[in-house]
Structure 1
């Protein structure tokens, strides 16, 4: 996770961070809630003028009271993010970020050296808030606090345990998070990932120059997984920013495989977001151009995204050509396991393409092959939804909706990611308006919220 730039107006102080968070919540409101929220509308709902909201978002002003913060939190549907952060912002909002970072370093150094707080010149309340800001508390990520992670890190320091780890350590950490991403509910996987992103940030901030490039590669991979999970949770605005961070970290690392992997993955996950199909296709082809002739997992991701996008566009022959190319590349590359690329992925893409293309027999064979490869729950669930698309294409409209309803009902709500519900919505697109008798049950199953 890159450190905030020292000259950035966005993060000069906690007030700037708080304002940026409000702006990000407003920008992502349409993706999260389904309707646009302008600055004027936010102002009206929160009891402010638009000009004051603008000042708050720029970090030039703060809400006057906690009641005002709750009004903003409710208007933005922020689920308590603003109210949780408000006590720290209220106390330390105008302090420069660099001063806060130095103060937290003094606190943790004092605990490490003599078990007492080394900060002077402030009262107990300020010490407590600064202590909360330690270990990347500047970002007020609740998993760090809720799991006691900041306490664990200070305990390690008191024991003289060096922070961070080797590149091999971080490779193993990434592999662990990848397994969690594939098997755990997305919210749980995201919370755990945030903690290690904080640790990586700390190590990058003090690492010698000869280690930075390798850590940037790890930062790219972990940021890619973070964007992946945010997409699964439907937090599309935040996901876009994390995709950008992943690209920047990958480019800084100069690792071509990582650069292509991040871009190919972004194209695949663009299919499960509000992005236009044209923009997803552009992403996929851009990643392929970057790979040139290099056989790398990112190239396979990019070709997968291209094939799936063409299928949704109705360009069946082009989609089938891309699928054939994908299988040829997989056979040549032997890349199973790298970056989490698994053997069932090509069959999953075939299932998608043939389901949209109306080739029910080829779709069924691809589904069977996907299941035979012991896929993660995401793919196992989604290929059942591919079956519903295939059924609808064959004229079984209500049968398709009933199948979707059953698939979603069978799935624990904690695992019901937006990737799954996004595919479920595509099934409805294949059913004519006058053939939707099973629609009420379908809608009930589709709209069950994901636990937070």
Structure 2
């Protein structure tokens, strides 16, 4: 059978299987020849082919071609994965749904796979929207040569408005496609001013991707995307973007299990880059310095950071203060939340009043921040020896919160409620339930 004939027989399941194999190989950083040698090392056959020939097989398998039982077993050994997990239909379907950035495979294969997927609709099969992404992305690369950068700036702006209400999995999937498009546009853009604008867009999208990955529990991947976001921001030459990316990462670090010292260093670096200029990133950086120092029990420096945050807030542009519906705004209510957080972490009597002031300033639809304020109230109850009431309050807050919206900042604050319980309180039903709700944090 010729290569063209083999390609003509590729099925949607085969293409999904190939994407899965390619993803696992890329994850390990192996080239096809390196993988070929590893596969051959597991095969006990004196007449086995050379690694060059097997590298050719791998290319065909990753394009969706059929694979023999011998090589399925070899793959499972090399990838250290159960063969059933690696090659099941369900795994293949999930892999296809997750493949949103196309590789540089043959265009005929992409078109044929699409036609086969569309044909499957006639049989009542569901078509994952991401299966269409290779076709759309290829067309975008052709049409987008003279793209309006202002349109991409609007895309990034719009993400800041939909971020709060978008489930993390959908956010990451959508961002992946747009990041790929911006990357291709950057590759074709040499004019310095245009590149700087695209790099600013990239920095914003990359930071939101890092945030979304953290919310999905992929903390290792999140840190790598934060690093790339910082590089993009720095390459843009825009100090306000460089400040904001570090301030946002600092906030993320405070709620991802990273050392508090790491969050503080990021926030201090953002303050340094800001150089006294009032900006969204600068006020956020002072806030996160205050948070980190309060966690460390450094009351004096934490309160100085709160003062710096308030002073910076008073100098913010009106469009930042008045934006109450997106990530690109910093309205006054964030001041009240920050003051409530710091006074709670420091165990101060003023915490109750600060929490009530913050709660009154937040509209109900900002469920994440409202939940955080209510969890601060739970911490204060536990600090005041009303342990059972505090635990039950925290459980009620988390159970009422949508499971697909339980971002790290909420879960880490919930875990904080149970952090310093008296020994006898660990056995309380509410304590066990809260630990179960925050498991893995």
TM-score by length of 2: 0.70
Query: Which of the residues 347, 355, 361 maps onto 1:358?
Result: 347
In the TM superposition, 1:56-205 aligns within 5 A as: 64-65=71-72, 68-69=75-76, 72-73=80-81, 84=92, 101=104, 107=107, 117=108, 128=112, 146=130, 148-153=132-137, 161-162=143-144, 165-205=147-187
Show CA shifts across 1:371-410 (max 9, x none).
Answer: 4243732212111111111111111112111111101111
Q: Which residue of 2 aligns with 1:390?
A: 380
- Aligned mates of 2:29, 2:370 — CA distance in 1: 37
Contact 1:216/1:249 (8 A) holds in 2: yes
- Aligned mates of 1:83, 1:299 — CA distance in 2: 45
- Aligned mates of 1:144, 1:242 — CA distance in 2: 26
Does 2:416 correspond to 1:426? yes
- Aligned mates of 1:266, 1:203 — CA distance in 2: 26
Change (3 A) 1:182 1:268: same
Does 2:199 correspond to 1:216? yes
Contact 1:358/1:394 (8 A) holds in 2: no
Contact 1:265/1:298 (8 A) holds in 2: yes
What is the SS of the residue equivalent to 1:403?
helix
77-86 or 194-203: bigger deviation: 77-86
Show CA shifts across 1:126-151 (max 9, x none).
Answer: 8757999xxxxxxxxxx996363333
What is the SS of the residue equivalent to 1:340?
coil
- Aligned mates of 1:301, 1:419 — CA distance in 2: 15
Larger radius of gyration: 2
Q: Which residue of 2 aligns with 1:406?
A: 396
Show CA shifts across 1:93-121 (max 9, x none).
Answer: xxxxxxx73x65xx3xxxxxxxxx4xxxx
Aligned length: 362
RMSD after superposition: 4.1
Show CA shifts across 1:209-233 (max 9, x none).
Answer: 3422211111011101111111222
- Aligned mates of 1:17, 1:146 — CA distance in 2: 16
What is the SS of the residue equivalent to 1:411?
coil
1:207 deviation in Å?
Answer: 2.6
Query: Which of the residues 253, 257, 271 maps onto 1:288?
Result: 271
Query: Which of the residues 365, 368, 372 maps onto 1:378?
Result: 368
1:74 deviation in Å?
Answer: 6.2
Change (3 A) 1:65 1:259: same
1:167 deviation in Å?
Answer: 2.7
In the TM superposition, 1:2-81 aligns within 5 A as: 18-22=24-28, 64-65=71-72, 68-69=75-76, 72-73=80-81
Contact 1:180/1:189 (8 A) holds in 2: no
Q: Which residue of 1 aligns with 2:250?
A: 267
- Aligned mates of 2:391, 2:112 — CA distance in 1: 54
Show CA shifts across 1:422-451 (max 9, x none).
Answer: 11111111322222323122234334x99x
Change (3 A) 1:86 1:298: closer
Q: Which residue of 1 aligns with 2:433?
A: 441
Contact 1:348/1:367 (8 A) holds in 2: no
250-259 or 392-401: bigger deviation: 392-401
Contact 1:69/1:83 (8 A) holds in 2: no
331-340 or 247-256: bigger deviation: 331-340
Contact 1:223/1:246 (8 A) holds in 2: yes
- Aligned mates of 1:409, 1:79 — CA distance in 2: 37
- Aligned mates of 1:144, 1:327 — CA distance in 2: 48
What is the SS of the residue equivalent to 1:431?
coil
Change (3 A) 1:163 1:290: same
- Aligned mates of 1:308, 1:171 — CA distance in 2: 31
- Aligned mates of 2:368, 2:89 — CA distance in 1: 28
Q: Structure 1: which 5+ runs fail to align?
A: 1-13, 25-46, 49-58, 89-99, 108-116, 118-123, 133-142
What is the SS of the residue equivalent to 1:207?
coil
1:174 deviation in Å?
Answer: 1.1
Contact 2:244/2:280 (8 A) holds in 1: yes
